[in-house]
Amino acid sequence: MDVEVRLVDNSKGKGLFSKKCFKSGAIIFEEEPLVSCQFSWNAAYQYKACDHCLRPLETAEENARRLTGKPELELPFPECCTTDKSKFTSCTLCGTDYCSVECQTTAYNQYHRILCLQTTERNNFHPLEQLNEAWKHVHYPPETNTIMLIVRLLARIIQSPNRDLAIEQTLQFCHRTVNEDAELAHKLLGEKFANQLSLLHSLLLQCVPHEGIEQFLTPAGFQGLLALIGTNGQGVGTSTISQWVTRTSDLAISDDERAVLDKFIDKLYEDMDSHSGNFLNNEGVALFTLQSACNHSCVPNAEPTYLHNNNKLSLVAVRDIQEGEEICISYLDECNLHRSRHSRRKELMENYLFACNCPKCEEQADEPDVTSEEEEGEEEMSE
Ligand SMILES: [Zn+2]
Ligand SMILES: [Zn+2]
Ligand SMILES: [Zn+2]
């Protein structure tokens, strides 16, 4: 391990620190999630991904056809597609699709045994389907989370051969007061849907056996789990098209051929954008033990990426990191990260309950604590 989790100087909290130097662009560590899950609407809209690892289940051409709405579309250089359909498999009982026998077996052994619907018929009567539907109606795209991650997390504890360890792994993510959990749970659902909390809770109770996980199934325990996924859930994105595009850039072809290909790709993205909008990736959410130990900074020195086109996270240095330096990522998305100090800190306080004192926020401490008019306009638009 080239990193360690330890206390941050002058504060009570923990952080992740480097134990060696990293050049910008270097991989600091790679990590598989404790648990992950595709977003509910993403799956409903037929974004085809392995149910376990989120690897795309389409060829680049199929992906391009679906996202452009052009069933006749042909992609040149099919050899640049990384999808290997010969490895695909599905659960014989419920038809859930996986990219490989390894994923199917791992899923079954970790959580799918008790979550298998045992039938290929989807009629929305099963408690799991009811919960998923209820969630979809309180959490519309753009998605940031799914309650199905909680279901998987609980199933994982129940199926674990070492339940105490599984509970401990889960609890390491949440160390908050009951009031803070309630605040975060409401924030995750949004003002409009805060009253749906008890409905989601009662549906969840029907989805998993209760024995041994009682502490998570009380109303407070449930709010704690929502707060946990709200503050620790890390977005995962995979795309077979972007893999294909990356691979075509390595092709040894003439300048003329390159010009034709570049034009084709530009048009492809234009067509996908007009038919499917911004949502091109298979998207989901995951809980990572090590990555979740990273604190936030508005000037991060690392960022999570998915170099393997599945849910395995690679934390990449975005600038040179010295030995002993704290490794920080941004909890804010690209758009929010570039807003004013006031807006960033407001967003972080509401979603993560902390006041950011990163170098950038310190440096801008003299800025007035009001949102500029331009930004207020943006805020209204995003609401
Ligand atoms: Zn897989
Ligand atoms: Zn199954
Ligand atoms: Zn900051």
185 and 65 in one domain? Answer: yes
Whether 255 is covered by a domain: the verdict is no
**Average of per-residue pLDDT across 289-318:** 97
- Nearest listed ligand to the Cα of residue 93: 2
pLDDT at 382 over 50: no
CA of 90 to the centre of ligand 1 (A): 11
203 and 70 in one domain? Answer: yes
CA of 336 to the centre of ligand 2 (A): 39
Whether 139 is covered by a domain: the verdict is yes
199 and 50 in one domain? Answer: yes
Pairing of strands 282-287, 234-238: antiparallel
- Model confidence at 371, pLDDT cuts 50, 70, 90, reads low
pLDDT at residue 16, rounded to an integer: 96
Contact 326, 317 (CB under 8 A): no
> What residue numbers bound the domain in which 375 lies?
339-383
pLDDT at residue 76, rounded to an integer: 96
Of 183, 201, 234, the position where a domain reaches its end is 234
Whether 74 is covered by a domain: the verdict is yes
Q: What angle do the packed helices 255-276 and 240-248 form, to 10 degrees?
A: 160
CA of 107 to the centre of ligand 2 (A): 9
For 106-155, the pLDDT digits (tens) are 999 999 999 999 988 888 889 999 999 999 999 999 999 999 999 999 99
For 209-236, the pLDDT digits (tens) are 999 999 999 999 999 999 999 999 999 9
Of 183, 217, 234, the position where a domain reaches its end is 234
Q: Which residues of 350-369 are buried (b: 16+ CB within 10 A; e: fewer)?
A: ebbbeebebebbeeeeeeee
CA of 99 to the centre of ligand 2 (A): 14
pLDDT at 77 over 70: yes
Structure tokens at 69: 């709405």
H or E stretch covering 38: strand 35-38
345 and 226 in one domain? Answer: no
The number of folded domains in the chain is 2
CA of 103 to the centre of ligand 1 (A): 5
CA of 200 to the centre of ligand 1 (A): 28
Of 198, 215, 234, the position where a domain reaches its end is 234
pLDDT at 41 over 90: yes
Distance between CA atoms of residues 76 and 15, nearest Å: 47
pLDDT at 372 over 60: no
352 and 213 in one domain? Answer: no
- Nearest listed ligand to the Cα of residue 360: 3
CA of 66 to the centre of ligand 2 (A): 26
Q: What is the mean pLDDT of the chain?
A: 93
- Give φ, ψ of 327 to 5 degrees: -95, 120
Find residue 315's DSSP bridge partners: 29, 304
pLDDT at residue 375, rounded to an integer: 52
Distance between CA atoms of residues 200 and 145, nearest Å: 14
Whether 298 is covered by a domain: the verdict is no
CA of 295 to the centre of ligand 3 (A): 11
Say which residues have a Cβ less than 8 Å from residue 316's Cβ, sequence separation at least 6: 25, 26, 27, 28, 302, 303, 304, 305
180 and 67 in one domain? Answer: yes
CA of 336 to the centre of ligand 3 (A): 11
Contact 354, 175 (CB under 8 A): no
Pairing of strands 326-329, 295-296: parallel
CA of 125 to the centre of ligand 1 (A): 27
CA of 266 to the centre of ligand 1 (A): 30
CA of 284 to the centre of ligand 2 (A): 19
pLDDT at residue 381, rounded to an integer: 46
DSSP reduced 3-state for 211: coil
**Average of per-residue pLDDT across 249-268:** 97
pLDDT at 9 over 80: no
204 and 83 in one domain? Answer: yes
pLDDT > 70: percent of the chain: 96
Whether 262 is covered by a domain: the verdict is no
pLDDT at 383 over 60: no
Whether 358 is covered by a domain: the verdict is yes
DSSP reduced 3-state for 201: helix
Percentages helix, strand, coil for the chain, rounded to the nearest 5?
45, 15, 40
Torsion sign across C-alpha atoms 315, 316, 319, 321 = positive
Whether 101 is covered by a domain: the verdict is yes
CA of 94 to the centre of ligand 1 (A): 16
- Nearest listed ligand to the Cα of residue 296: 3
Whether 248 is covered by a domain: the verdict is no
CA of 38 to the centre of ligand 1 (A): 12
CA of 307 to the centre of ligand 3 (A): 27
CA of 50 to the centre of ligand 1 (A): 5
CA of 114 to the centre of ligand 2 (A): 9
- In the structure, ligand 3 is a single-atom ion and the residues with CB under 5 Å from it are 298, 356, 358, 361
pLDDT > 90: percent of the chain: 87
pLDDT at 194 over 70: yes
CA of 117 to the centre of ligand 1 (A): 19
- What is each CA distance from 274 to 238, 239, 362, in whole angstroms? 20, 18, 42
